[in-house]
Structures are given as C-alpha cells and as structure tokens.
Copies of this chain bind each other. A is one copy, B any other.
Amino acid sequence: MRVGELSKRSGVAVPTIKYYLREGLLPAGVLTSPNQAHYDDEHLRRLRLVRALIDVGGLSIASVRDVLAAIDTRDESLHNKLGAVQEAISQPGTVELDPLAIADVQAFFARHGETECADVTQSNVTHMLAAALSSGRSIGHDQIRDLLDPYLEGLKIIAQADLEYVVRHTSPDDVIESMVVGTLIGDTVLKALRRLAHAQVSRDMIGDGPAQN
C-alpha cells in the first residue's frame, strides 16, 4: 500500500508517519518509483505498536526506539530479551533516592533470592522501586516497605495470567511484542482495577456510611 493508505488504515497522519520514518521507528518502504514507496502489513503492525507505546505507554521517541531495538534483537534468549524490553519501558524518574529506601529494596531482593538485580544504578526497574519508597519516606511513610511482599504475592497471580495469555494468543515471533503491549496496557488496567479493588475492600472493611440498596 502507499503511504496514504497506510495513514488511512492506521489512523496516523501522513506527516507523523514520515516523522517516524525519519526517526527510524518505522522501516523504510520498498521504492516502486523514485518518489513512491510501498508499505505492507508489517509496517501497519509496527506503526500501531509505535502508537500504542506512545499513547498508552506514554513513552518518549527515544524510549520507543530502545524498545523496538530490544524487540528486534535476534541473538538473545527470550527471557533476557524480555528483561531488556522491560528496562527500556521503565523510565527512571527524577526523585532523589533515600539510602534507607535503597536498603529496603536490597533487603527485599535478598529475601527473594534476586540479588543480581538489586543494584539501583544497574536497573531502571530497581531504581523505580527505590524512588517510590524514597517518596514514601519523604512524607513519613517508611513502612510502605512492608507492602512489598504482599504486593509480589498478588502480582504473581497477575503475571501468571499474563504469561498464559501470551502463550495462548500469540505466535512465538510475537511473544515479546505482546509482552510489551500487555505490560503497558496492563499497567493502566491494573491502575484502574486497583481503584475498584480498593472500593470493594474498603466497603467491606470501613463501610460506606448510610446503608445502600
């Protein structure tokens, strides 16, 4: 298809597509004449992935490029590739790290036998965790560290469902792409559902004042 058709089918404006092509987020089309290129379904799929990363994941162009590079690497085990992608989509914030929060995170990783990823300077994911605990400490919530273990317990149920979803609905070539999309979309789904879970649990534990129904 031509770029106009690609735009129509993806809902992405032609100048934006050209921008992605210049930034290397989308591979060049096949030239069919000196100033005309042909795009295929693979371009359409990649374009939708780029939009999902930007719209749903809120990623910067630079992060999208990192994620695509991790997806396109062919010489790594699936597990390591997944790790690389997840590092790319976990952007460290600007919160100053509290040494006590870093110690909390390291103790948590040690408890779970995950010492290799406990270094905040080596892992964006670990940095993100230490930053969240640092923010908690700065406003007097040192004890948020006690939530890490029950959180991990709940998340294992969720991660199990994620992995089963990927295995059931995805061809082996698409596993990484599915995991990335699932992780980003899943983050938003979890945020929303967590509010619902809070509401349900708080209704049971605290009550909602005057009886309803």
Contacts and interface: CB of A to CB of B under 8 A. Distances in A.
Nearest to A210: B77
B86 A178 contact: no
Interface string A183-207: 1011111111111111111110111
A55 B183 CA distance: 22
Interface residues of A, number: 88
Contacts of A93: 55-56
Interface in A118-153: 125-126, 128-129, 131-133, 135-136, 138-141, 143-144, 146-148, 150-153
A76 B209 CA distance: 8
Interface in A48-104: 48-49, 51-52, 55-56, 76-80, 82-83, 86, 90, 93-95
Instruction: List 9 tightest A-B contacts by C-beta distance, closest first.
Output: A77-B209, A79-B208, A150-B161, A154-B157, A159-B197, A129-B192, A154-B158, A132-B188, A155-B197
Interface of A: 11, 45, 48-49, 51-52, 55-56, 76-80, 82-83, 86, 90, 93-95, 112, 114, 117, 125-126, 128-129, 131-133, 135-136, 138-141, 143-144, 146-148, 150-163, 165, 167, 169, 178-179, 181-183, 185-203, 205-210
